[in-house]
Amino acid sequence: MRISVAQIQEANEALLNTHRQSFSHLAEQLQAEGWQPDELIRQIQRLQIAIPSWALGTGGTRFGRFPIGGEPRNLEEKLEDVGLLHALNRASGAISLHIPWDIPQDTAHIRSVAAELGLRFDAVNSNTFQDQPDQQHSYKFGSLCHTDAAVRRQAIAHNIEVIRYGEALGSRCLSIWLADGSNHPGQRNFVQAFENTLHSLQEIYEALPADWWMLVEYKPYEPQFYATVIQDWGTAFLLCQKLGQQARVLVDLGHHLPNTNIEQIVATLMMEDRLGGFHFNDAKYGDDDLTVGSIKPFQLYLIFHELVSGFQRQGRQVNAIAWMIDASHNLKDPLEDLLQSVEAIQLAFAQALIVDRKALEEAQQQNDATWCQELIQKAFRTDLRPLIAEARLRAGGALYPLQAYRHLQVRQQLIAQRGRKAVATGL
């Protein structure tokens, strides 16, 4: 299924007048504060968020899964779904693949389908946390950290294979998340596990094309509940430092223990120029993979405040790192959830763009805590939804993507085409 320009225009029709009024009011307000709405819009349009190929179907927990119907049955249909999102919001112009869940059989064909939909391939992800039916050695006791060199060799070879798929698709980074760790005190020698992981990563790093990045993702627990080899940003950072300039840390928002100051981690990684990418989601308790911005929108905004400050310091554009969503949709329609997530990311980014950084710096120097907080909260409390809608409108997208999605009955059509029982690969 494809969404045409005419369908988008038709969906926008009824909303145009109200939108014009609210946008012109907001634009005036922003201009009065010294911002240029056109420039803000250009920056918002530049931010493209990769959609994970594994999150287009309903997720589940170990207690069950409740498929919604019409889920993509193969990679082409996954591209088609991301194409639908991108047609609506013009901000989801990339897809991140997980291998072997989504092996591109015919890379030239898959590339041309993606190009036709205006999509590019973001990070390719390896998977050594599950055993595949045809694999020789098991990852039950780890992969890159394993005590047995043969298991490590198999996991290294898999990662190199993923790089090759990525090259054929035009991707520029390999994203590695390891489930390696232990469940029981004393089960594993920490030092040996770290060193094995480092040496395995070094071999993969050597196979990395010169213009690629290796993204190293950390996570404190799950599936291992006693110790995880790459448990936190410090461990990931240490590995990256030992590996070389092309290795960078990937921050998944759900991979922190409760109340961790993620924005401070982001600031430190940017200071050291080691931030490589993001997996956006939101969480209440653990790695809950909920809709971005649904639980802690203020935290998301503070993270973007550090990101924007960091990019401005470095003189870089916002598209300098890999932006991805990593979420699971257990109750909602995955496509609806992804539309909400992308919008939440855009909003937090836009709010961070209108922080008066000069005034903030002065207030910080004077230790004027009250005024610092005032400046930070002012931007967060400005309703920038009309600005995001205008950015979409100018790019040919829908003023209100979620409403347009429902109006066009996308899910019903996908069910009619693919069947009620179609279930996507993923977790």
Q: Which of residues 175-194 bind ligand PSV (CB under 6 A)?
A: 177
Answer for the pair 265, 236: CB distance below 8 angstroms, yes or no: no
Which of 71, 81, 180, 217 lies at the binding interface for ligand PSV (CB under 6 A)?
217
Which residue has tokens 């298991």? 151
Does 252 interact with Mn ion (rule: CB under 5 A)? yes
Does 122 interact with ligand PSV (rule: CB under 6 A)? no
Answer for the pair 242, 197: CB distance below 8 angstroms, yes or no: no
Does 279 interact with Mn ion (rule: CB under 5 A)? yes
Which of 122, 326, 333, 390 lies at the binding interface for Mn ion (CB under 5 A)?
326
Selection from ligand PSV, Mn ion, none that 125 binds (CB < 5 to 8 A by kind) is ligand PSV
Does 256 interact with Mn ion (rule: CB under 5 A)? no
Selection from ligand PSV, Mn ion, none that 427 binds (CB < 5 to 8 A by kind) is ligand PSV
Q: Which of residues 341-380 bind ligand PSV (CB under 6 A)?
A: none
Q: Which of residues 79-98 bind ligand PSV (CB under 6 A)?
A: none
The 3-state DSSP class for residue 8 equals: helix
Q: Which of the stretches 90-98, 203-211, 220-228, 325-333 binds Mn ion when contact is defined by CB under 5 A?
A: 325-333
Q: What DSSP assignment string belongs to 304-338?
A: HHHHHHHHHHHT--GGGSEEEE----SSS-HHHHH
Sign of CA dihedral 333, 338, 341, 347: negative
Give residue 410's identity as a one-letter amino acid code. V
| CA 346 – CA 159 distance, rounded (Å) | 32
The 3-state DSSP class for residue 215 equals: strand
Instruction: Spell out the residues 6+ positions from residue 381 whose beta carbon is closer than 8 angstroms to its own.
Output: none
Answer for the pair 107, 168: CB distance below 8 angstroms, yes or no: yes
Answer for the pair 269, 275: CB distance below 8 angstroms, yes or no: yes
Secondary element (H or E) of residue 106: none
Q: How far is the CB of 388 from Mn ion (least distance, A)?
A: 25
| CA 52 – CA 78 distance, rounded (Å) | 9
The two structure tokens encoding residue 416? 């009619």
Does 102 interact with ligand PSV (rule: CB under 6 A)? no
Give residue 322's identity as a one-letter amino acid code. A
Count of chain residues binding ligand PSV (CB under 6 A): 10
Measured from the CB atom, the residue of 215 and 267 that comes closer to ligand PSV is 215
Q: How far is the CB of 116 from ligand PSV (least distance, A)?
A: 27
Cβ-closest position to ligand PSV: 177
The two structure tokens encoding residue 170? 């035009």
Measured from the CB atom, the residue of 188 and 219 that comes closer to ligand PSV is 219
Q: How far is the CB of 59 from ligand PSV (least distance, A)?
A: 8
Measured from the CB atom, the residue of 122 and 217 that comes closer to ligand PSV is 217
| CA 56 – CA 193 distance, rounded (Å) | 34
Q: Which of the stretches 94-102, 252-260, 329-337, 380-388 binds Mn ion when contact is defined by CB under 5 A?
A: 252-260
Selection from ligand PSV, Mn ion, none that 54 binds (CB < 5 to 8 A by kind) is ligand PSV
Selection from Mn ion, ligand PSV, none that 359 binds (CB < 5 to 8 A by kind) is none
List of residues contacting ligand PSV (CB under 6 A): 54, 125, 177, 217, 219, 252, 279, 287, 326, 427
List of residues contacting Mn ion (CB under 5 A): 252, 279, 326
